[in-house]
């Protein structure tokens, strides 16, 4: 059974620091991995989607990498800002099964201090 | 931009009431989803619909039903609300044509059952 883990559960950094968020999954048979951001009391906003054939995706100050064979993905945030404070979740879509089958991690709560 | 709209941000209902949560998307997506999110448990899929009148049970369908009469609208129904259904409910949508279509979420409905 696919499991997705995000460690640490919470992270606090000073403004301006570059940081890496981690996501690991137990089964490498996936179609893709998606990173989301969630602000308190709000829904999830899609940040990046990496297909299984890709190694990385970039959007602005965000860079997500995928190493399927080791079951790992990282989200790199450059020059962090207080506005980046949020919970970041990753989710994998396992190969096979229906399109409803998306497995989420529990998230890393990021706090960027001014 | 994809817009997924949930009709209520906050709802307070009494035990035993029948509760309707509504979700509308404006991007002609075939797939629509209902999740609930609880502290420590993460996101769990309640129901998934891949077309009008079509549905699949997710991980925790007990106590819930759904309705998809029109492509843009997906309703979650709590037949007889109970206190353990107090939660944040999130609706999402995606295109069916590709397993690599990202998921787009609404802002959530925080339901309290007293």
pLDDT digits 0-9 by tens, B11-27: 999 999 999 999 999 99
pLDDT tens, B27-37?
Answer: 999 999 999 99
CA distance A3 to A93: 11
Q: Does A98 touch chain B (CB under 8 A)?
A: yes
If you count residue pairs, one on A and one on B, with CB atoms under 8 Å apart, how many are there?
A: 61
Q: Which pLDDT value is given to residue B35?
A: 96
CA distance B41 to A11: 19
β-sheet bridge partners, residue A27? none
| Contact call for B100 and A104, based on CB within 8 A | no
Check residues A29 and B98 and name the one with the higher pLDDT: A29
**Secondary structure letter of residue B29 according to DSSP:** -
pLDDT tens, B30-73?
Answer: 999 999 999 989 999 999 999 999 999 999 999 999 999 999 99
| Contact call for B50 and A32, based on CB within 8 A | no
Q: Where are the alpha helices (DSSP H) in chain A?
A: none
Is B24:B109 a contact under the CB 8 Å cutoff?
Answer: no
CA distance A66 to A54: 7
- The region that residue B81 occupies, defined by phi over 0 for left and psi between -120 and 50 for alpha, beta otherwise, is beta
Residues 6+ apart with CB under 8 A from B44: B35, B36, B37, B38, B58, B59, B60
Q: Which pLDDT value is given to residue B73?
A: 97
Determine the distance from the C-alpha atom of residue A81 to the mean position of all C-alpha atoms in its chain, rounded to a whole number.
Answer: 18
CA distance B74 to B70: 8
Low-confidence ranges of chain A (pLDDT < 70): 97-100
Q: Which pLDDT value is given to residue B98?
A: 75
β-sheet bridge partners, residue A90? A35
Q: Which pLDDT value is given to residue B37?
A: 96
**Secondary structure letter of residue B15 according to DSSP:** T
Q: Which pLDDT value is given to residue B96?
A: 82
Q: Which pLDDT value is given to residue B2?
A: 66
Q: Does A105 touch chain B (CB under 8 A)?
A: yes
CA distance A76 to A57: 10
Nearest CB to B100; choose among A44, A51, A89? A51
Interface test with B, best of A43, A52, A89 (most B CBs within 10 A): A43
Q: Which pLDDT value is given to residue A104?
A: 95
CA distance B85 to B79: 11
Q: Does A59 touch chain B (CB under 8 A)?
A: no
């Amino acid at each position: 059974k696919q499991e997705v883990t995000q460690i640490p559960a919470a992270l606090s950094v000073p403004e301006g620091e570059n940081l890496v968020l981690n996501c690991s999954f137990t089964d490498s048979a996936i179609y893709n991995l998606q990173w989301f951001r969630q602000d308190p009391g709000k829904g999830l906003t899609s940040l990046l989607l990496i297909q299984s054939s890709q190694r990385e995706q970039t959007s602005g100050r965000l860079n997500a990498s995928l190493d399927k064979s080791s079951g790992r993905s990282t989200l790199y945030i450059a020059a962090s800002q207080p506005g980046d404070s949020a919970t970041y979740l990753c989710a994998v879509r396992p190969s096979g099964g229906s399109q409803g089958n998306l497995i989420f991690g529990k998230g890393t709560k990021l706090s960027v201090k001014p | 931009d994809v817009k997924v709209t949930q009709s209520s941000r906050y709802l307070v209902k009494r035990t035993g009431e029948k509760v309707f949560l509504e979700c509308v998307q404006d991007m002609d997506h075939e797939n629509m989803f209902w999740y609930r999110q609880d502290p420590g448990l993460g996101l769990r899929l309640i129901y998934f619909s891949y077309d009008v009148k079509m549905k699949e049970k997710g991980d925790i369908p007990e106590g819930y039903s759904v309705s998809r009469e029109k492509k843009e609208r997906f309703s979650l129904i709590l037949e007889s609300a109970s206190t353990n259904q107090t939660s944040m409910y999130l609706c999402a949508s995606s295109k069916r044509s590709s397993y690599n279509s990202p998921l787009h979420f609404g802002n959530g409905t925080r339901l309290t059952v007293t």
